[in-house]
């Protein structure tokens, strides 16, 4: 990797992009880099060490917590807390947000982080790739006071940074600070991330659709109509169906090849399944920064005003012309816009 920039070098070089920052955001991104390496080490040996299988506990979503879920959550919570950079963290694995106090009980740090520490964790036991998703905001309540829920319930268009780690055939960290999307690949021998995918761009069109068609009969009519459109023999259709049950991996592939990922409402999931704050907003920020789009089928994800920490929303995200096509079918059924 002689001529590839490292993630550390990239963060320092682009420090100037962050107005008024004293290097805190850079240090915050570096702490995420460290946590990603720690989790990657465990994920890559999951088959060998007895940390597979359910931990016996369940999270607020009522989902079985796999031991790696807990491990990843603790790794990111610990790394983010130790660096005196964030004043609060919300996680899929934590029932409520966590107030982070500095050494002298300071609440002087100005960033908050929302995280899905190990998305797609049901894939762990079958050796399919999983991911970490993170979202970073500036706090909105006075510095020096403990963070409140108001700091976490900000619309996605106020994110200062967002990204994911995909633990796949190689481990990549992909993130944006509002100046485009860049992908870094881990060289495990050196423990260093190298810039391997500069300025990632969603192809405007694509021929991959990612959705769990097993729920077809439960989908809104607009989604059923769009799926039939994808399967018709016309022009560049039928499209290919690619869905591996891991949002980060499906999104990452679609961003490189072109495609759309849909998790809609259904009679089984009236609000959809994915969480707005630590899945849909960061993924939507990345999509838009890469020239793609993300909506709930009707309105832009990044403009949704959050009301609850773990609220779920439907999501249509990917190549902007494919999302637009799906929205045309959804628009025929305005009654499905409310969830
Ligand atoms: P289903 C994983 O649990 C996840 O949050 C996403 O990563 C994935 O795309 C989706 O849920 C899979 O859900 O209902 O199709 O199994």
Q: Report the distance separating Cα 315 and Cα 265, nearest Å.
A: 9
Whether residue 283 contacts residue 324, with contact meaning beta carbons closer than 8 Å, is answered with no
Residue 63: pLDDT band (50, 70, 90) is low
Can you say how many angstroms the Cα of residue 38 is from the centroid of all Cα atoms in its chain?
18
Ligand 1 centroid–CA 309 distance in Å is 19
Q: Report the distance separating Cα 146 and Cα 105, nearest Å.
A: 10
- Position 17 pLDDT exceeds 90: no
Amino acid 146: pLDDT? 93
Q: Report the distance separating Cα 283 and Cα 276, nearest Å.
A: 10
- Position 85 pLDDT exceeds 90: no
Site to substitute for ligand 1 among 119, 168, 216, most atoms within 8 A of C-beta: 119
Ligand 1 centroid–CA 26 distance in Å is 31
Residues near ligand 1 (Cβ within 6 A) = 119-120, 122, 212, 245-247, 250, 273-274
Q: What number is the average pLDDT over the span 168-179?
A: 94
Amino acid 57: pLDDT? 65
- Position 21 pLDDT exceeds 80: no
Amino acid 172: pLDDT? 97
Tokens of 320: 């902007």
Ligand 1 centroid–CA 122 distance in Å is 9
Sequence-distant contacts of 20-24: CB under 8 A, at least 24 apart = 24/85, 24/109, 24/110, 24/111
Amino acid 18: pLDDT? 64
Q: What number is the average pLDDT over the span 246-275?
A: 97
Which domains are present in the chain? 7-197 (3.30.540.10), 208-331 (3.40.190.80)
Amino acid 163: pLDDT? 98
Ligand 1 centroid–CA 29 distance in Å is 26
Residue 46: pLDDT band (50, 70, 90) is low
Whether residue 137 contacts residue 111, with contact meaning beta carbons closer than 8 Å, is answered with yes
- Helices and strands of the chain, counted as H and E runs: 8, 15
* Phi/psi of residue 248, nearest 5 degrees: -60, -45
Q: What predicted TM-score, i.e. pTM, was given to this entire model? A: 0.94
The sheet with strand 111-119 has its strands ordered as 98-99, 86-91, 111-119, 130-138, 161-167, 171-176, 181-187, 192-197
Amino acid 291: pLDDT? 98
Amino acid 65: pLDDT? 61
Q: Report the distance separating Cα 118 and Cα 248, nearest Å.
A: 10
Residue 45: pLDDT band (50, 70, 90) is confident
């Amino acid at each position: 990797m002689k001529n590839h920039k490292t993630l550390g070098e990239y963060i320092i070089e682009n420090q100037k992009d962050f107005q008024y920052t004293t290097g805190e955001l850079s240090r915050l991104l570096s702490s995420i880099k460290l946590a990603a390496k720690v989790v990657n080490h465990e994920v890559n040996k999951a088959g060998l060490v007895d940390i597979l299988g359910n931990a016996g506990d369940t999270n607020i979503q009522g989902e079985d917590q796999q031991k790696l879920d807990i491990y990843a959550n603790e790794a990111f919570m610990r790394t983010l807390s130790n660096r005196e950079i964030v004043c609060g963290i919300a996680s899929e694995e934590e029932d409520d947000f966590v107030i982070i106090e500095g050494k002298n009980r300071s609440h002087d740090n100005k960033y908050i982080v929302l995280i899905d520490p190990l998305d797609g964790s049901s894939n762990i036991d079958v050796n399919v790739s999983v991911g970490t998703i993170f979202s970073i905001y500036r706090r909105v309540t006075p510095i020096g006071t403990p963070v409140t829920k108001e700091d976490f319930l900000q619309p996605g268009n106020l994110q200062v940074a967002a990204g994911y780690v995909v633990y796949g055939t190689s481990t990549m960290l992909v993130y944006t600070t509002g100046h485009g999307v860049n992908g870094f690949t881990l060289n495990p021998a050196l423990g260093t991330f190298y810039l391997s995918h500069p300025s990632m761009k969603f192809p405007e069109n694509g021929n991959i659709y990612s959705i769990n068609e097993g729920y077809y009969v439960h989908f809104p009519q607009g989604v059923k109509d769009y799926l039939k459109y994808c399967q018709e023999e016309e022009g560049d259709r039928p499209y290919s169906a690619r869905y591996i049950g891991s949002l980060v991996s499906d999104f990452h592939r679609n961003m490189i090849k072109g495609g759309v990922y849909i998790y809609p409402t259904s009679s089984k999931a009236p609000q959809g399944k994915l969480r707005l704050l630590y899945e849909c907003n960061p993924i939507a920020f990345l999509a838009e920064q890469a020239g793609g789009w993300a909506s709930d089928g009707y309105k832009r994800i990044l403009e949704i005003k959050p009301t609850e920490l773990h609220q779920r929303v439907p999501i249509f995200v990917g190549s902007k012309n494919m999302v637009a096509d799906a929205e045309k079918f959804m628009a025929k059924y305005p009654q499905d816009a409310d969830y």
